[in-house]
Amino acid sequence: MKIEAKIINSGLWMKIQIVSVTEGFSQILKDGKWVNQTIEPERFEDEILTLAKCFTNTSEIEEFMNTKSFKSLLKNLQKNWI
């Protein structure tokens, strides 16, 4: 599992969402055993948090994501979430 930041568009504004990402197979329980439903691994995302700060364009977001405080947030989430 890893922690990633992604940009979400909520109409007029854009926000940053932090997600945990896991890659694996969809499985079902069949005859008491877990069986893969897919041949290729899939990407599963779970939302950890969405920042309340709104942005008007991707260049603003990229500038914010390069700040020391944002990088520190991601680092701490990666360290403590897993």
Q: Taking the model in full, what pTM does it have?
A: 0.74
Distance in angstroms (rounded) separating the CA atoms of residues 64 and 77: 17
Distance in angstroms (rounded) separating the CA atoms of residues 48 and 39: 28
Distance in angstroms (rounded) separating the CA atoms of residues 44 and 24: 8
How do residues 11-42 score in pLDDT, each as one tens digit?
A: 889 999 999 998 888 899 999 999 998 888 88
32 by DSSP, 3-state: which?
A: coil
How do residues 57-71 score in pLDDT, each as one tens digit?
A: 999 999 999 999 999
